[in-house]
Structure 1
């Protein structure tokens, strides 16, 4: 029997109620997801297409109203059905104000549940959808972004995910190169095969060859038994060579041979082993400059860069910043505060003014810290000082040092309400020096 197209998420900490509702919905040919906590429900909502939410209200840690609030803010067109064993007039009114489509009191009959589900879904189908902002595509794991720059990255992922062409990912530190490598692997037809990451910059040169190619017993002191290398472990799948620019010339020579011959020879062996592996390499180094300095092999570069993906820096895709902030607020709000946190518009503007030299990794750290420091929502006071007083200046603008200093002093004074003592403290100069600079 063909399933109905709707997917229904059921959230209740009572397993008996969960199973009862799920059993009925399956009988009516709906596909269901189930969660015993709000945290679990949020993860399902993020990763799946859901057409109706059925939730209890009284649950430990985070209650159902918090979930309803989150859904209303992030999925405004998703209909919501409450089932509760503790009905009250207050809760009913609160539910109606929150946009809940239907409200059922436990115990309820099968017919009452069917009627409520049908009404909620029917009302949702009939309701005109509000135009929404462009959102990222669904199928790229942890990658967040709907900017033109990120859409170009996703288009390349689409083209390469189902073949084993060698791929080179470039970009500044903190832009998410491993996320892109994982998306290429896990969104393609080889997703069931292994994905093996190797940090070429984090392994001593003397051990990197053994890590990559494996070794035979007795190959060197301490080699007490045969061991597979990363290439053999990735058989049929993908090996991700992160920070490839840090590999020595000797390792580069062996890698070149692996790419040419499609085989590896473990240390201590003379017998090559055939491999079937997609190679993805990444670095934040300037390989062109390294080639000029003869610290990176030009022939290896051309072997690695059959297809190249350049990940833009965060400052070049700032329209994605609110989406990234939402992601980290959700992650760390649940982890540290057991609830969902918002960011005040003024604080978001501060984040938008900053140039983010550390890219997404730096943004995540800032949001994580702000979640820990804040009370009910992220405010400007919860952000680090170096963000609050950052100078808002286009990236390519060139100006004199004196003018830069003048603008920065004015910015700090504005931020401190013209409090010269506080401004001098932030600038780490005396009040006398500040007065002299203001006269100038």
Structure 2
């Protein structure tokens, strides 16, 4: 018999009940996802297409009513079936009002479960909305990319064209815009998703180690090389390697990268023999490589090899219509992590977030929501937002300044607040120490 197309998620803190439900569902050829907590259920819902939720009500930390409420708001067309103990009349009314299609009282027979599922589940062919969507019908997520703005849809269209081939891809964008998320989407949305994905931050590895980390080395190649070791390229063989901050690579490393792109082979440090590899290379940077080429700090021939396909990830200030979706994601993430429940945000606080220009982009937004969730109890409000967001709104008569000047003043402000601790300031800004030193020198 063929498996049905419907995916059913069952949620219960009782492992025995989970196993019983799974056996019944699998005997009817449904595909089953299991979760022992609401937190785990939310993760599965965000990552998988679910066509029916079956949940218990009484669970530790977050109960089933909270899960039903969450699903009703985020996945409005997903049917919900409640399995519970002996409910009171009031409980029964609450279950139905919460949005559940039906409920089963424990203990129940296999036939009763089958009938309830058939009554509850939306046929696969008719279930057009499985994940949350906008009113205009566009998906709000693509892999881990969140948004349905014009800028994001342009990025997704390019990803759809390149995901199933191994053309070299170059991702441009400011720090914190989500360049790695785009690289991961290219890999995991395509047919090579089961192959390795290796992410390397070229700016985070000391210059004298980057070459050996990327390409590997042989025993005795340098002091401390006590045995041969494969590099990141060998680890990514068959899949994708993501070279973030490629502009920080030395000219020696750039020369080796050019050979990899031209010859499809890698030579370990200290070795004479080349090894063939099959790797898709995705590179990214927030630097202007054309300027670096003019200064002879980046190879022009490598630049053209890397930019077979270019993807420009827009800064958050150019896609502010995505802020609400991003805020919602971070509220769910940190609400469950810190408060064991989903928190909401007031319209007034959201308005402030939508008006801010976000020099630190999505990373800065995430940091602010994380802090706001920690500081709030039931709902994120204006009082839980940093003062500099509110201050900018009140200064409506302020003379407009170039973005570089605003960024400079903000970096200085953060440094003052950390007593000039560059490490702590870099952490707050969501950048590394090398980047903050570069910006200070500019």
TM-based fold match above 0.5: yes
Aligned residues: CA RMSD: 2.5
Partner of 1:421: none
Indicate if the aligned counterparts of 1:328 and 1:367 stay in contact, CA closer than 8 A: yes
Aligned equivalent of 1:32: 32
Structure 2 vs 1, CA of residues 360 and 131 (structure 1 numbering), >3 Å: closer, same or farther?
A: closer
Correspondence for 1:99:
99
Pairs within 5 Å for 1:246-395: 246-391=248-393
CA distance in 1, matches of 2:137, 2:47: 17
CA–CA separation in structure 2 for the residues paired with 1:131 and 1:273: 49
Offset of 1:128 from its aligned partner?
11
Distance in 2 between residues matched to 1:311 and 1:71, nearest whole Å: 31
Q: CA deviation at 1:92?
A: 1.5
The residue that corresponds to 2:44 in the other structure is 44
CA contact (8 A) 1:354 1:392 kept: no
- Cα distance, 1:306 vs. partner? 0.6
Distance 1:183 1:123 in 2: 29
**Helix, strand or coil for the counterpart of 2:393?**
coil
Q: CA offset at residue 398 of structure 1?
A: 7.0
Determine helix, strand or coil for the equivalent of 1:203.
coil
SS of equivalent to 1:41: helix
Q: Distance in 1 between matches of 2:372 and 2:201?
A: 30
**TM-aligned CA distance change 1:17 to 1:302, over 3 Å:** same
**Residues 38 and 289 of structure 1, relative CA distance in 2, 3 Å threshold:** same
Give the counterpart of 1:132 among 130, 135, 139: 135
Other structure's SS at 1:99 match:
coil
Q: Can you give the 5+ residue segments of structure 2 that lack an aligned partner in the other structure? A: 403-442
**Equivalence for 1:208:** 210
Shift in Å at residue 160 of structure 1? 1.0
Greater mean alpha carbon deviation, residues 153-162 or residues 127-136:
127-136
Q: Distance in 1 between matches of 2:240 and 2:29?
A: 38
Q: Count matched residues.
A: 398
Contact 1:25 1:31 survives alignment (8 Å)? yes
**Greater mean alpha carbon deviation, residues 344-353 or residues 108-117:** 108-117
Q: Secondary structure at the match of 1:49?
A: coil
Question: Structure 1 residue 170: deviation in Å?
Answer: 0.5
Partner of 2:2: 2
2:6–2:124 CA contact under 8 A, matched in 1: no
TM-score normalised by structure 2 residue count: 0.85
Q: How does 1:158-173 map to 2 (within 5 A)?
A: 158-173=160-175
Give per-residue Cα distances to partners, 1:144-195, cap 9 Å, x unaligned. 1111111111111111111111111110000111111111112222222221
Deviations 1:269-305 (A, max 9, x none): 2222222211111100011111122211111100110
Contact 2:79/2:122 (CA < 8 Å) preserved in 1? Answer: no
1:390-427 CA deviation, whole Å, 9 max, x = no partner? 23899xx97589xxxxxxxxxxxxxxxxxxxxxxxxxx
Structure with the greater alpha carbon radius of gyration: 1
Distance between the aligned counterparts of 1:78 and 1:339, measured in 2?
20
Query: TM-score by structure 1 length?
Result: 0.85
Match of 1:227 in 2: 229
1:40 is displaced (CA, Å) by 1.1
Deviates more, 1:88-97 or 1:67-76: 88-97
Q: How does 1:394-433 map to 2 (within 5 A)?
A: 399=400
Three-state SS of the structure 1 residue aligned to 2:392 is coil
Distance 1:124 1:234, change over 3 A: closer
- C-alpha distance in 1, partners of 2:57/2:307? 54
164-173 vs 291-300, which moves further: 291-300
